[in-house]
Structure 1
Amino acid sequence: MALSLTASTDSQNPSFLMGQNYQLSLKQSMEDLLAETQKETPNFSGFIEKFYGLMQAKVDPPLESIWVYSALSFRSHSFSKEDHLCRLSIINDLFQLVSSCSSPCNSSKSIALLAPIVFEVYKLVVEVLGKDSGSKGEKKVNKKIKSVVEVIIGYISMCCCKGFSEESEGIDVDLAVPVEDLASIWIDRNANLQSFLPLVSHEVCGLISERGFDLNYFAGVVMVESFLLKLCLDIRIGDEGMVVLENELRSWAVASISSFHNSYFFEMLMRILLQPALPVTALLGPEEVILLRNILFDVIILVENSFLKPETVPLPTEHVKSIAITRLVVTLEAIELFRKNRDKKRATRYMSAFTNSDLPSQITKWISSLNGMFEKAGGISGSSPKALIKSLLKLEKQGIKLFNDSVLKYHAKSLVDDSMEVDEQLVSKKLKDDEPSFYIDDKGEEEVNEMKNESMTAVYVAAARSMRPIDKSRDKRKGSGGEEKEKIKYFKYALPSKSKARKEASVPGSGSDSDSGASKDDLSSDSEVENPVK
């Protein structure tokens, strides 16, 4: 039975749920519900009707009302943990319910409300991948799960078309209860926020709690989880060779990031890369994690995204600074990592990409505006990531606060202390011969955005149509023919044949001195990347 948007006609009087009465009623209802969850045998039967009334009383319902109503509706359906197709069907129904309830909401809230759905899909994926993935039954389940994840990605892309920056002001994001309490409705009583957001790092969960509930940041976290879940599924059950798979997923990731066009998502993704281990160990093996890390470093460092430029997208100044500093730290992290792994070509490529990007000049101008004497003294001109970080830390010692939090400052300081001395002259000689692997062409931005809106809508509709009821025996996916392609300009790698790729014995970036992507001789002329969701 599908989860439905129904409730008794005896729900709370809408005339009562107005103004201050509404907020008091929502807060009291949340407190009563949380008290019930602490009981050994909780009874939620009376709460479904109450939260349905709270949700219906507002044109743009509070996040808590939709969150709780969908959770209680989901719990009302029993299913066997062993029946994966049945569980997936109910998860699909949950997605349909949430997307329907949040249709009047802004993009940030609509995406944030997907957090429980991504959590339930993740739990199912962990169970399914732990079984015999080669059996006919498990292959069918994997195919269905991938379809659900693709629909979630498509839905997020459609939400992003509304634009986040336009909604950054005037949004009521004051929760009636802490976000940890909201998460507890979906997880065990003794679990924490990290358990509810398993695909982001402990540090990111800490930021959510420390900063208070920022709807844009939380939506960015949900986007990161969906993004990583899609990549992990493709890596785990893909049948291509490693080199072919890496190139295909890199292209998909670049196109997806461009489609999301979201700086909050981008910052959260960078934060995860700063952790010693990616939070995907339950889904991937050690070599597969290395492959994923390589792909993520590439799409963050080698690509120039227009939505990160302050002159292109109006964003809060502090947010722009935080992204720039985080990207600087991630770049040095990647360079040092591949130097230690003796992958000198990849390290040089990252240094080249940094030098040819807008990031050095952006940070240099920013530092100079804070302390003009620093540039005159020659402390910034022609700087490497290491030199720029040293400049930031030097200004911090002078009492100028540049790092938004102590964790990022700790990462920066440890990298500078531990990094090897670099022969800058030797690096500069190599830069001209080793240009960034690919880049986004910002020209025709208006035209690209228009194409993006049309194509992502078509992709979402096509993917949603493929999600027929799980119990049907026939499952034919229809093509979305005539779909526009977002043009993303880049220098593509010359891909080896699949038969040759399957013979690859090592994983790129695992310690080999050879270039994991392609040598500079493999670069060819401009090409195009298709839309991210297929």
Structure 2
Amino acid sequence: MDSIPDETQITHKFTHLIGQNYEIALDQSLQTLLDYALLDTNFEKISLFTADFNKLLQCKANPPLETIWVYSALAFHGRISSKDESLNHQFTAIKELFQLIVSCSVSCDSLKSIILISPVVYHLHRISVDLKGYELRSKKEKKLMKEIKGFVDSILGYLKVCCEGLEGDFDSLEGLIRPLEDLVSVWVWDVKEKSGEGKVRLRRFFPLLGDGLVERISVVGCGLSELAGYVIGEVFLLKLCLAFRGEVSGKELQNELRTWIVGSITGLRNSYFFDSLLRMLLEPSLPVTSLLTSEDRITLRIVLYETIILVEYSFLNPERLARLSASHVKGIALARLMVTHEAVEFFRKHGDQTKALSCMNAFSSSSLTSQVIRWVRSEIDVKDNNYGPNGSSPKAFLRWLLNIENQGIQVFDNDMSSYRAKLVLDISEEDSKLSASKENKKSVADLLFYIDNKGEPEDEIEKDEQMTEAASAAFVAAAHSLQSAERGGTKRKAGNIRKKNRLKFLKYNLYEESAPPAEKPTVVDNNDLSSGSDVENPSADEEDN
């Protein structure tokens, strides 16, 4: 199209918007809007586009996602007339956008309702970044931040209700009429790059997903269930980032975040959302650079490692995952395995052996190990119950899987190729260092003691390593054997302090957030993780009593 569409090209005279006619009319209207947006970002004719999509919205009881998406975008752009609007004015418009989307999607299924919240998250992120520049110097700015935090809590509450509607039906038969890149374009107008513009728009529109997930959406694509999980993940991260902008800090903030994260993951019970957190943690850096300092980003990563690895969530049990697609279940298992490995290496790198051992103990005690072994055995049709990795650590499992891939069995999917490449490089470098270290020790031993037994130094080293691993395992098993007790009821009662069967974790009751009895997570390892948390010893409690 060489010129901006005139009024007669923009407005359509719709008739008999039923069945296939509706989809044709929607597609034509959206294409006209996109053609216009590519040529001009002046919104003088927005009211004409809005009229078309208002008709499409009104003539169907359960309108498609695209109709609500575009209509709300046009309404919002008409509300925000300039980038120079004050932050308070922008925030008011964002709240009105949320209310409009909720009212328009009241008859939609839960997946569509969740996905439709993504434009709200996009604009909340933008205003949060802008507000960060002010450093909350005035009472007015502090008040606005408090209102934003409360609004994010409201969105999370809405998403939790939507997730309850997903119980037993995570996969929707209905897909998108137009590619996601086209839908994103009506919110991100100012991206004009011809080369890879779709990916640029996606990265701009999903600022809290990270490059890995954006690449996955752009290249591999994703279903509505996955996209809904990604949207929840963005709101989740935004909530955590805003928590760092308050009066609470240090260990007290970390304890509060741990409590909230576990309660929220338990309450949402969404495996696609959990998968999005895992994939974010596999990125070199969390996608929160624009909101947090480098120190706060490290703190957030540590807290996420602890709450994702050290807790066994019931909605991730093999029995619960059996009703989901095999590829999705496999992806979660591999991502959990790799995240645990990354966490162990992260803590070792920062000199915190206690946390590294905690993650390894939690992994070996979880259902994930047997799940991975069963899957591999079924893939290569092995009946031998002794067939498995040579060790129980995450690294031993990953070495085993890489060796299986070398035999021609594909374990890691294409979208995990970058993680796999990094894993291969890390293990190769470690093997080289280990080999050089053994050779060096052997040379020193030969100088000190001339013994005509070439295998002895290496054998002794291996025995020492086995003894160290056995001692560590025994220590961890003895010190971190506390398991969570099932909690009854879903509501907190004022003044009811439970002294018996109360899960003691990080100084707080993990389950102060209401959660159905069947969905309580189990703390696999509850040590204080060298974070200043207070974890009480059950035996000590008995002695005191």
- Whether these two folds match at TM > 0.5 is yes
How far off its partner does 1:516 sit?
3.4
Asked if structure 2 preserves the Cα contact closer than 8 Å seen for 1:331 and 1:385, the reply is: yes
> CA offsets per residue over residues 23-74 of structure 1, 9 Å max, x none?
1111111111100111223532211121122222333211110000000000
Structure 1 letter corresponding to 2:30: M
Residue of structure 1 equivalent to 2:26 = 26
Task: Supply the distance in 2 between the matched residues of 1:440 and 1:274 (Cα, whole angstroms).
Answer: 28
1:155 aligns with 2:197: no
The structure-2 alpha-carbon separation of the partners of 1:99 and 1:383, relative to structure 1 and needing over 3 Å to count, comes to same
How far off its partner does 1:432 sit?
4.1
The structure-2 alpha-carbon separation of the partners of 1:322 and 1:368, relative to structure 1 and needing over 3 Å to count, comes to same
How far off its partner does 1:365 sit?
1.6
Asked if structure 2 preserves the Cα contact closer than 8 Å seen for 1:51 and 1:65, the reply is: yes
Match for residue 311 of structure 2 among 297, 303, 308: 303
Q: Secondary structure at the match of 1:133?
A: coil
Residue of structure 2 equivalent to 1:465 = none
Q: Secondary structure at the match of 1:523?
A: coil
Residue of structure 1 equivalent to 2:186 = 185
How far off its partner does 1:388 sit?
1.0
How far off its partner does 1:142 sit?
0.6
Asked if structure 2 preserves the Cα contact closer than 8 Å seen for 1:201 and 1:275, the reply is: yes
Residue of structure 1 equivalent to 2:55 = 53
Residue of structure 2 equivalent to 1:278 = 286
Task: Supply the distance in 2 between the matched residues of 1:255 and 1:437 (Cα, whole angstroms).
Answer: 21
Asked if structure 1 preserves the Cα contact closer than 8 Å seen for 2:312 and 2:366, the reply is: yes
Match for residue 224 of structure 1 among 217, 225, 233: 233
Task: Supply the distance in 2 between the matched residues of 1:99 and 1:337 (Cα, whole angstroms).
Answer: 41
Match for residue 407 of structure 1 among 404, 415, 418: 418
Task: Supply the distance in 2 between the matched residues of 1:438 and 1:113 (Cα, whole angstroms).
Answer: 43
1:85 aligns with 2:88: yes
Task: Supply the distance in 2 between the matched residues of 1:262 and 1:415 (Cα, whole angstroms).
Answer: 31
Q: Which has the higher helix share?
A: 2
Task: Supply the distance in 1 between the matched residues of 2:278 and 2:501 (Cα, whole angstroms).
Answer: 22
How far off its partner does 1:429 sit?
2.6
Task: Supply the distance in 2 between the matched residues of 1:367 and 1:133 (Cα, whole angstroms).
Answer: 53
Match for residue 388 of structure 1 among 384, 389, 397: 397
Task: Supply the distance in 2 between the matched residues of 1:202 and 1:92 (Cα, whole angstroms).
Answer: 28
Structure 2 letter corresponding to 1:178: P
Task: Supply the distance in 1 between the matched residues of 2:104 and 2:472 (Cα, whole angstroms).
Answer: 55
The structure-2 alpha-carbon separation of the partners of 1:301 and 1:166, relative to structure 1 and needing over 3 Å to count, comes to same
Asked if structure 1 preserves the Cα contact closer than 8 Å seen for 2:208 and 2:237, the reply is: yes
Aligned length: 463
Query: Share of identical aligned residues, percent?
Result: 38
Task: Supply the distance in 2 between the matched residues of 1:342 and 1:135 (Cα, whole angstroms).
Answer: 40
Larger-gyration structure (1/2): 2
Structure 1 letter corresponding to 2:360: M
Matches within 5 A, 1:481-492: 490-492=503-505
Gaps of 5+ in 1: 1-10, 456-479, 496-513, 527-534
TM-score of the aligned structures, taking structure 1 as reference length: 0.79
Match for residue 320 of structure 1 among 300, 306, 329: 329
The structure-2 alpha-carbon separation of the partners of 1:489 and 1:319, relative to structure 1 and needing over 3 Å to count, comes to farther
Asked if structure 1 preserves the Cα contact closer than 8 Å seen for 2:149 and 2:242, the reply is: yes
Task: Supply the distance in 2 between the matched residues of 1:14 and 1:151 (Cα, whole angstroms).
Answer: 38
TM-score of the aligned structures, taking structure 2 as reference length: 0.78
Deviating runs (4+, > 6 A) in structure 1? Answer: 11-15, 436-440, 480-483
Task: Supply the distance in 2 between the matched residues of 1:414 and 1:124 (Cα, whole angstroms).
Answer: 40
The structure-2 alpha-carbon separation of the partners of 1:135 and 1:303, relative to structure 1 and needing over 3 Å to count, comes to same
Asked if structure 2 preserves the Cα contact closer than 8 Å seen for 1:280 and 1:289, the reply is: yes
The structure-2 alpha-carbon separation of the partners of 1:292 and 1:424, relative to structure 1 and needing over 3 Å to count, comes to farther
Q: Secondary structure at the match of 2:221?
A: coil
Relative contact order higher in (CA < 8 Å, ≥ 6 apart):
1
Q: Choose 411-420 or 47-56, whichever is displaced more.
A: 411-420
Q: Choose 397-406 or 251-260, whichever is displaced more.
A: 397-406
Asked if structure 2 preserves the Cα contact closer than 8 Å seen for 1:302 and 1:437, the reply is: no
How far off its partner does 1:105 sit?
1.4
Task: Supply the distance in 2 between the matched residues of 1:69 and 1:481 (Cα, whole angstroms).
Answer: 45
How far off its partner does 1:95 sit?
0.4
